[in-house]
Structure 1
Amino acid sequence: MILVTGGTGLVGSHLLYHLLQENDSVRAIHQKSSDLNAVKRVFHYYTSDFDDLFKRIRWVEASLDNIPSLETAFEDISHVYHCAAMVSFDSRDYQKMRRINIEGTTNVANLCISKKVQKLCFVSSVAAIENSNGKGLTDEIDNWSSATDKSGYAITKYGAEMEVWRASQEGVPVVIVNPGVIIGSGFWQKGTGRMFSNVKKGLKFYTEGVTGFVGVQDVVKAMSHLMNSNIQEERYILVSENLSFKEILFLMAKFLGVQPPKFKINRFLMGVLWRIEIFRSRITYSTPLITKRSAKSAMSVNPYTSRKIINDLNFQFEPLESCIKKVSKDFYQDLKG
């Protein structure tokens, strides 16, 4: 039996659909507050039989910090896809991210060891990989430096990776994937989904920071291929293309049929904006739309290479223009109800 953590998130929900094409049933963890309908929404992008497919998921209510509930979820499990994580660039969420991303992964790793799981796939992030020489494309052999300034998210994803590598030293075959910024359908109020929503509403501003982007379908396809291969104790960057945020936003505008953003934000203006937003969020007790960390990311140039997985698995990534076209179609489908 396969177990998926984070099954109601972007990667987890698309992964569940992919796994159910090859398995009669899959077990997935959800929290009491999780929106299971989000998974149905993702399934309906793929097939009209989404209800029947959804019924084949064996849901277990569990939390990464509740070991007894996790032990129930791990009964008779052979393979684990650990997708659950908290993503935030708000400094107020750092301790919560440590509990979920590091301590939660510690619990998953320990259960993989004690239950003698046959293989573990962990979804990390390119945020946990640092360009050690400051030149060229970042790849899997670049070293992490604790001396440089990093976001709480990056720190906790790196800490989670250390727990996965510990499991590998204690007999669990593991693979780690490090996706870039993931583009996918179904979650229009968070991550890149919110970018589609904002562009549709008439977003006026753009930045020219560069990073690696990848479609969610490529992420789950790579995870499945790696788990079904003999590869273990390896990590793989998953990036389809390195593009600027301007290029991504303009592609979204193109396929949503709206005007692209007109005004470029420079570093000075970005600094003003994130400070204003932090002040607003403190007064209103809300989540800031821009933080110092997210502003820095939007302005930085951080390209990556996926040549390792391309060479090892002859893997082919979907062009981002094609991916954004598909996601735009799904966005309009949801918009029309």
Structure 2
Amino acid sequence: MGRRLRTLVLLLLIPLSALVLTWWWHVPHGPWLIHNQPLAGQKICVIGDGGWGNDASQAIGRALVTLQCDQVRYLGDLVYPSGIQSVDDPLLKARFLDPLKPALDAGIPVYLVLGNHDWKGNARAWLTLARQNPLIHFPHYYYFEQWPDACAFSLETTWLEKWYYLRRQGNWLDSALNNARQHHCRFSLGFAHHPLVSSGSHGEAGPNLQLSLNDRLFGRLDLYLSGHEHILSDEGSYQGTRQLISGSASINNDLGLPSQEQRFTRATHGVLTLVLHDDNGTMTADYRFYSVLGNPREPLITLLWQGDKVGQGIRPAP
């Protein structure tokens, strides 16, 4: 009887293992979003880590309207401390929807990537939310966008940090980079939660993430924008890719050692804006960091730092 039971269990484990391995090595295809209007001339406002729903995040929401943003890129840690369990989770309204209400009421679309804290809850709930709200865009955990003059990769870097990453997102990204190059993308952007290097207290990315970003993105993209560190920072260029951090939409953390190419860093609540210009085929991004203090006795928005980056599109792999 014991031998029959062991045989039966073995026979059941074989197809189950095959199914698990099929899922494990499957490479899901992140969707491609095609925009018909050029990106040049649009103001992109970039925020991150606003998930406490506090006075600072409420002030950020108002600033998005004052700054006349055409779109918002929200770079993860959408609800602290442990994400949401469903679209009916009261924290979703209190810590995400309420702070963004001024922007959503103004018709400003919001594009999401998830942060590491969002994965502590039910990450699929964010997909459901996006299906229910036409102004919230989150078609997949990672996705590609193409405009007539530019392209962008929204990434799931929490996966890149973990051992279970393997090939799932990497193969998709290789294919998307090659296709974007063939479509003559003239300015390239990466939106993600985790930075490669940082002058904040978290410091450099872990070895798995460093390997993925160095191998696939840095040296190939024009701009890489991230949160995770609760600061505003222009970390300079690495292999020709400029890295900017905007992760202070609700809290600030201490500064760490300045990165090697650091140009500007401030531990204050704020937002990053980005406007692309097309000058006879040459794409240039003008970016600006603003503090957003939320103190009614002080100016809501103060310009802290600005810079620019001339685009080269998607450069070939080294």
How does the TM-score come out when normalised to structure 1?
0.34
Higher helix share: 1
Q: Which has the larger radius of gyration?
A: 2
Which one has more relative contact order, counting CA pairs under 8 Å at least 6 apart? 2
Question: TM-score, with normalisation over the residues of structure 2?
Answer: 0.36
Q: Which has the higher strand share?
A: 2
